[in-house]
């Protein structure tokens, strides 16, 4: 396991950095708030593989630390500052040295991190298995590869060979043990994606089946990207799924008609939620006469990918995390900070995604803002939330309600609850539009 020393006098920066690094690689993290403290830690732990340090700190700045370290070691050193490196003469002839500008939570930082630690970005975190939901495998005609069950952190047991079939009883047996995912090898996940392309191409399915498939595909993609990264295959399948959702929305102009066809399944709650946001938001946009194809595209894209920065654990805890966002203690914890940052992190990822239409990053960055400024990460008020983000935020609220109620709550019930809340600017217009669509 890699050993990393983070040096910064701001605790928040150290903690956020630690969370993000641990999200990327397995590592043992040391923290120091000054150059002197870092030096003491390094003396006791000379096996440290990398130092990431701020410059301006009381009790030993980054230059002091670098010079002292170089007296005995050539450990890689990342200087992490807002100013460019030429502002710091101490590093003029630095060796094994990289400069990264704040804010540090950028893809470029992780690229540097991976390169320093391994020389090969892929070698740091080689995926062994990709989780696939039982729901999705149930729908594939042939197994895409050998199927494994996870018994412990690194303990996977093969339960079926490629070419075999698993029958309903097999799935029920594992579902009863509260197992939600099986695992396949990465090479089989490409096969799984090919199957999903075929399934999404099927034309002789009704809307209910099509909804299930798009939802299951969202679920698979969230898992696949966790292990495979944002590979071309992952992006292609996502685009295909977005088109499928758009076609579905087109075929059912009434939101209530679509929601009636929903088959609620708690194993795919997150994916259902994303698909539902796509359908509701694109339908609202159409009814508002924002008829451009691009508008629907942007909303569907944002709906399926707005939480792309969350890991599987965060997704499984999504409802609990959202309930805690107002809690001061949670806001200060590393877990809370990472969660409160997730809209911006997701927007950053999508900015680099070539097929992502313009404005998607704004919708994604604002997807937890609220018209009364009580949202996060920026607490924007209704005037500063973009009109498309407003559509998304309302659609998300309705989708949450429907998914949580598992179909027992109607759109009219939700409108009764929310009509006095969404009274500002675009929000008022949007809820009136939903109200018309629900009648
Ligand atoms: Fe989110």
Q: Distance of CA 189 to CAs 195, 371, 422, Å?
A: 10, 41, 43
Amino acid 245: pLDDT: 79
In this structure, what are the phi and psi dihedrals at residue 139, rounded to the nearest 5 degrees? -90, -15
Q: What is the pLDDT of residues 287-332, one digit of tens each?
A: 888 767 688 889 988 998 899 888 777 887 888 999 999 999 999 8
In this structure, what are the phi and psi dihedrals at residue 290, rounded to the nearest 5 degrees? -85, 75
On average, the pLDDT of the chain sits at 82
Rounded distance between C-alpha atoms, residue 137 and residue 49, angstroms: 41
pLDDT at residue 246 tops 70: yes
Same-fold call for 2-124 versus 205-438: no
What architecture is domain 205-438?
Orthogonal Bundle (1.10)
Q: How far is the CA of 36 from the centre of ligand 1 (A)?
A: 39
Residues with CB under 5 A from ligand 1 (ion): 307
Bond before 103 cis per omega within 30 degrees: yes
Superfamily in which the 2-124 domain is placed by CATH:
Response regulator (3.40.50.2300)
Q: Distance of CA 197 to CAs 4, 206, 236, 244, 439, Å?
A: 41, 17, 9, 11, 36
Q: Give the pLDDT band of residue 125 (cuts 50, 70, 90).
A: very low
Q: How far is the CA of 173 from the centre of ligand 1 (A)?
A: 33
Bond before 377 cis per omega within 30 degrees: yes
Q: Which helix (H) or strand (E) holds 4?
A: strand 2-7
Least confidently predicted of 56-65, 108-117, 171-180, 345-354: 108-117
Q: How far is the CA of 118 from the centre of ligand 1 (A)?
A: 32
- Indicate the length of the chain as a whole number: 439
Kindly report the pTM of this predicted structure: 0.63
Q: How far is the CA of 306 from the centre of ligand 1 (A)?
A: 6
What angle do helix axes 425-438 and 411-418 make, rounded to 10 degrees? 150
Q: Give the pLDDT band of residue 106 (cuts 50, 70, 90).
A: low
Q: Give the pLDDT band of residue 122 (cuts 50, 70, 90).
A: very low
Every domain of the chain and the residues it spans: 2-124, 127-185, 205-438
Q: How far is the CA of 119 from the centre of ligand 1 (A)?
A: 33
Amino acid 229: pLDDT: 66
């Amino acid at each position: 396991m890699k050993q990393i020393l983070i040096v910064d006098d701001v605790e928040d920066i150290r903690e956020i950095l630690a969370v993000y690094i641990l999200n990327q690689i397995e590592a043992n993290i040391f923290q120091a708030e000054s150059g002197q403290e870092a030096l003491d830690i390094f003396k006791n732990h000379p096996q440290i593989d990398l130092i990431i340090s701020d410059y301006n700190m009381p009790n030993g700045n980054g230059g002091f630390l670098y010079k002292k370290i170089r007296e005995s070691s050539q450990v890689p050193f990342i200087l992490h500052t807002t100013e460019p490196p030429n502002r710091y003469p101490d590093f003029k002839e630095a060796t094994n040295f990289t400069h990264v500008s704040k804010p540090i939570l950028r893809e470029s930082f992780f690229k540097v991190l991976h390169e320093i630690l391994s020389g090969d970005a892929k070698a740091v975190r080689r995926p062994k298995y990709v989780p696939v939901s039982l729901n999705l495998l149930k729908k594939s005609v042939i197994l895409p590869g050998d199927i494994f069950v996870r018994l412990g952190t690194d303990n996977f047991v093969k339960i079926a060979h490629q070419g075999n079939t698993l029958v309903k009883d097999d799935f029920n047996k594992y579902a009863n043990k509260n197992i939600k995912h099986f695992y396949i090898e990465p090479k089989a996940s490409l096969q799984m994606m090919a199957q999903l392309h075929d399934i999404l191409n099927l034309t002789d399915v009704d809307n209910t089946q099509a909804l299930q498939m798009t939802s299951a595909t969202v679920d698979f993609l969230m898992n696949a990207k966790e292990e495979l990264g944002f590979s071309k295959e992952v992006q292609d399948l996502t685009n295909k799924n977005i088109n499928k959702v758009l076609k579905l929305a087109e075929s059912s102009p009434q939101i209530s008609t679509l929601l009636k066809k929903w088959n609620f399944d708690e194993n795919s709650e997150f994916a259902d939620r994303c698909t539902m946001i796509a359908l509701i938001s694109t339908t609202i946009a159409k009814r508002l006469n924002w008829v451009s194809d691009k508008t629907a595209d942007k909303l569907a894209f944002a709906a399926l990918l707005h939480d792309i920065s969350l890991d599987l654990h965060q997704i499984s805890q999504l409802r609990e995390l959202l309930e805690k966002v107002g809690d001061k203690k949670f806001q200060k914890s590393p877990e809370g900070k990472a969660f409160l940052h997730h809209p911006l992190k997701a927007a950053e990822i999508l900015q680099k995604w070539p097929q992502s239409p313009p404005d998607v990053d704004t919708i994604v960055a604002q997807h937890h803002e609220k018209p009364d400024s009580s949202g996060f990460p920026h607490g924007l008020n209704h005037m500063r939330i973009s009109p498309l983000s407003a559509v998304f935020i309302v659609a998300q609220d309705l989708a949450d309600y429907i998914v949580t109620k598992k179909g027992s709550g109607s759109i009219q019930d939700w409108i009764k609850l929310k009509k006095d809340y969404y009274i500002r600017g675009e929000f008022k217009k949007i809820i009136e539009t939903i109200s018309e669509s629900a009648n």
